Amino acid sequence: MTQIPMGAVPKKDNEKLKVLKKPNKNVFLQMKKNYSAYLFLLPKLILFVLFVAIPVIWAFVLSFQEYKIFGSEFVGLDNYIKVFQSEAFLVALKNTLLFTVVTVPFSVLSALVIASMIFVLGKVSQSFFRSAFYLPTVTSMVIIAMVWRWMYNYEFGLFNYILGWFGIEQINWLGQSSSALWALIIMQCLIPFGVGIIMYLASMGSISHSLYEAARMDGASSFKQWLHITIPLLKPTTLYLVLLSTIGSFQVFTQIIMMTGGGPGNATETLVHLIYKTGFRDFEFGLAAAQSVVLFVIILIFSIIQFRVLRHDE
Amino acid sequence: MKKKPLDKVNKLILYVLLTIFAVVSLLPLYWVFSTSLQLNSYQSQDMERPVSYVDSNPPKMYPMGIPLYFEHWGEARDAAKSGDAKEEAYHRDMMDHIVDNTFSSYENLFKKNDVGKWFFNSFYIAVVVTFGILLLDAMAGYVLAKKKFPGRNLIFWVIISTMMIPGQVTLVPLFIMVGNLDLMNTHWALILPDLSMVFGVFLMRQFMYSIPDELLEAAKMDGASEWRTFWTVVLPLAKPGLAALGIFTFMNVWNSFLWPIIVLNSSKLYTLPVGLKTLQDANLASFKLLMSGAAVSAIPMIIVFILFQRYFVKGLTLGGVKE
């Protein structure tokens, strides 16, 4: 977005000269002249510094310390070494990666397919289905996790009952290491990616008609139009949605604590659940800070890679 | 995209598929409500002991109170016709029992648990944070978009760059800080960090660009103070953006979970999600009760969504809102 310059009046020449001669005084004057702007910013800025900026810096500092109430000790890279040597962290990393690698492509792709299906419908059906798919997104994950835990119940659960129709034996979905993580992955895949559907619908609406007209003149089928016009033009949206859901997926937590507590064993341990346990069950603040910094770096690396890959093959 | 009329068969297939997907996606929510209204104690004359339909195998797909109520209603009518007063009274009693039992968990929820308190806590915290954010972020977004002052770009980029950092990074330092400030186990521990969220500043700044400078100039000419200009010119023009930001803030705070379970530890201060977790952990609550709690927590967001749907769409497409 380009910014429109403030006011239409051009700067006077002598004012420009002042800038050249005495930059410091000019800055001070500018600040004085705009004191009200600073007043408007001040409340948010104070909160930001106190509850965002300081904690962020502090987290990096803490990750090199062993926290003690009276005077923390610097321990160099010890916390980071501990992070990568602990089996729990490596398992959590592996689980989180598997969760992300399966659910992100599935969510984004199914959002694209569902949005494409909704888009060709009439106005009323469009808004009806859009709401139906977005509704689960506004309800808290706590609720969704509670009901899915109940649906996965071994004896009374809905899923084992449905499997029974097809003569499949009951599965102890969340109770055994072999299926617990997959149960959570299936659940994530079946929760519609409401944000994705809405954003895809909005982007499809802004694609110019003439492109499709031209394609139809050339005799391209609807599917070919979709493949060669719609999908390439939706690329920025796809990029954004992949980034968004990857970031969200790396932070998966609520389902874990509500449904499995990371178990059985550490079959469903994830990075954020591990940070939570390290920090607030074992109170190892330095280690938890190091884990969270590693999480940040992983997310950052993934974001950069995805950005590059999805931007480049144009 | 040009809409080309679909032929009838294709259209039918499309509707069937979409309906199946929609049913799958709404099934969990349906299950919450259905289980919360399921009969969990029913004994007719020919049964040896009362049965519960909540954990019956196979599961009942809808509240059993509905068909049973009509069954007894029919039999009461028949009994009345044949003049059997005793039989009629029995069926009338059963009808009352079914209604009571169907809604019993909602009653228990508020009577025997702190759910009323949790609901109130969640609500007032969400309202306070939402209006606080709207005011603070509109003020900040306005000057960042419309005023030129030294340090403007620096401030903006510092604020925006923290949006990249996942919230978990600040958990431990915030926890120590909240402890040092003696705010542990208070609502301030939730409200202050929530008010510091920076996403709204970004969103409002984007939105404020679209306000024409001429209007601001005109207000200035009329001798309006900066505050008055902001209050009477800028805010009304920013209404659609404020609505979108307000709804997303309300939703995020209402559903927020990780930080509240860390800083709250007395039941009377819990928010709904935290309370629901302790209900589930206690393992004493029946699933009927748990699902009623879930329903109570879901209903306000469903209402907000239905009322303000278009702002949800607007908010999502405006700046790309985090879930």
CATH code where residue B265 lies? 1.10.3720.10
Quickly state the pLDDT bin for B4 (edges 50, 70, 90): low
Let me know whether B128 and B94 are in one domain.
no
From chain A, pick out residues whose CB is under 8 angstroms from the CB of B252.
none
Give the count of domains, chain B: 2
B44, two tokens? 């007719």
In a domain, B311, yes or no: yes
Q: When comparing pLDDT for B129 and A74, which is higher?
A: B129
In a domain, B2, yes or no: no
Domains and CATH numbers, chain A: 13-62 (no CATH), 82-312 (1.10.3720.10)
Q: Does A167 touch chain B (CB under 8 A)?
A: no
Let me know whether B101 and B119 are in one domain.
no
Average pLDDT, chain A: 85
Neighbours of B4 (CB within 10 A): 11
**Which among B50, B82, B112 is the end of a domain?**
B112
Let me know whether B300 and B156 are in one domain.
yes
Let me know whether B104 and B123 are in one domain.
no
So what's the pLDDT on residue A263? Answer: 77
Kindly tell me the burial class for residue A44, based on how many C-beta atoms sit within 10 Å of its own C-beta (0-12, 13-18, 19 or more).
buried
B198, two tokens? 């920076």
Let me know whether B78 and B126 are in one domain.
no
SS3 of residue A282 by DSSP: coil
B241: containing domain = 115-319
B103, two tokens? 């809604």
Q: Closest by alpha carbon to B178, among B250, B253, B268, B262?
A: B262
CA distance B34 to B62: 6
**Which among B112, B142, B161 is the end of a domain?**
B112
So what's the pLDDT on residue A159? Answer: 85
Q: What percent of chain A has pLDDT over 70?
A: 91
- Write out residues 119-158 of B within 8 Å (CB-CB) of A: 136-137, 139-140, 142-152, 155, 158
Model pLDDT for residues B218-263, shown as the tens digit of each residue: 888 888 888 888 898 888 888 888 988 998 899 999 999 999 999 9
Q: Closest by alpha carbon to A193, among A244, A249, A134?
A: A134
In a domain, B104, yes or no: yes
Quickly state the pLDDT bin for A75 (edges 50, 70, 90): confident
CA distance B205 to A243: 23
Identity of the residue numbered B133? I
DSSP state of B5: P
Of B209, B297, B304, nearest to A3 by CB-CB distance is B209
pLDDT at A7 over 50: no
Phi, psi (deg, nearest 5) at residue A264: -70, 145
Name the H helices within chain B: 8-36, 65-81, 85-112, 115-146, 152-161, 171-180, 188-195, 199-208, 213-221, 226-229, 235-237, 239-255, 258-263, 272-282, 287-307, 309-319
Q: Do B229 and B219 touch, CB atoms closer than 8 A? A: yes
Rounded mean pLDDT of A248-275? 91
CA of A142, closest CA in chain B: separation in Å?
6
Let me know whether B72 and B188 are in one domain.
no
CA of B240, closest CA in chain A: separation in Å?
17
- Write out residues 64-123 of B within 8 Å (CB-CB) of A: none
CA distance A192 to B5: 27
So what's the pLDDT on residue A23? Answer: 54
Q: When comparing pLDDT for B188 and A236, which is higher?
A: B188
Residue B45 region, left (φ>0) first, then alpha (ψ -120 to 50), else beta? alpha
Of A3, A44, A254, nearest to B257 by CB-CB distance is A254
Q: Does A30 touch chain B (CB under 8 A)?
A: yes
Please list, residue by residue across B9-30, b when 16 or more beta carbons sit within 10 angstroms of its beta carbon and e when fewer do.
Answer: eeeeebeeebeebbeebebbbe
Let me know whether B108 and B133 are in one domain.
no
**Cβ contact B28–A258 (<8 Å):** no
**Cβ contact A41–B273 (<8 Å):** no
**Integer angstrom CA distances of residue A228 from A117, A196, A208, A221, A233:** 17, 20, 14, 10, 9
Let me know whether B57 and B151 are in one domain.
no
DSSP state of A229: I
Q: When comparing pLDDT for A123 and A298, which is higher?
A: A298
Cis amide leading into B58 (omega within 30): yes
**Dihedral sign, Cα of residue A241, residue A244, residue A250, residue A254:** negative
In a domain, B21, yes or no: no
Task: Give the residue on A whose Cα is nearest the Cα of B161.
Answer: A53
B276, two tokens? 């629901």
**Integer angstrom CA distances of residue B279 from A204, A284, B198:** 44, 28, 33
So what's the pLDDT on residue B318? Answer: 67
**Cβ contact A34–B147 (<8 Å):** yes
Let me know whether B91 and B138 are in one domain.
no
Of A6, A136, A292, nearest to B168 by CB-CB distance is A292
Q: Does B185 touch chain A (CB under 8 A)?
A: no
Quickly state the pLDDT bin for A206 (edges 50, 70, 90): confident
So what's the pLDDT on residue B142? Answer: 92
In a domain, B3, yes or no: no
DSSP state of A66: E
- Write out residues 233-252 of B within 8 Å (CB-CB) of A: 251
**Which among B83, B112, B141 is the end of a domain?**
B112
CA of A37, closest CA in chain B: separation in Å?
6
Q: Does B317 touch chain A (CB under 8 A)?
A: yes
CA distance A314 to B236: 42
DSSP state of B187: T
**Cβ contact B57–A139 (<8 Å):** no
Let me know whether B250 and B303 are in one domain.
yes
Q: Does A136 touch chain B (CB under 8 A)?
A: yes
Of A37, A119, A288, nearest to B149 by CB-CB distance is A37
Model pLDDT for residues A140-167, shown as the tens digit of each residue: 899 999 889 888 988 878 888 888 888 8
Let me know whether B164 and B303 are in one domain.
yes
Q: Does A207 touch chain B (CB under 8 A)?
A: yes
Neighbours of A164 (CB within 10 A): 13
Rounded mean pLDDT of B74-94? 83
Let me know whether B307 and B169 are in one domain.
yes
CA distance A271 to A274: 5
In a domain, B10, yes or no: no
Q: Do A127 and A212 touch, CB atoms closer than 8 A? A: no
In a domain, B15, yes or no: no
From chain B, pick out residues whose CB is under 8 angstroms from the CB of A47.
136, 192, 195-196
Model pLDDT for residues A10-25, shown as the tens digit of each residue: 444 444 444 445 556 6
Neighbours of B173 (CB within 10 A): 22
From chain A, pick out residues whose CB is under 8 angstroms from the CB of B170.
51-52, 55-56, 59
CA distance A296 to B84: 75
Quickly state the pLDDT bin for A292 (edges 50, 70, 90): very high
In a domain, B287, yes or no: yes
Rounded mean pLDDT of B111-115? 82
Lowest mean per-residue pLDDT among A70-74, A196-200, B72-76, B219-223 = A70-74
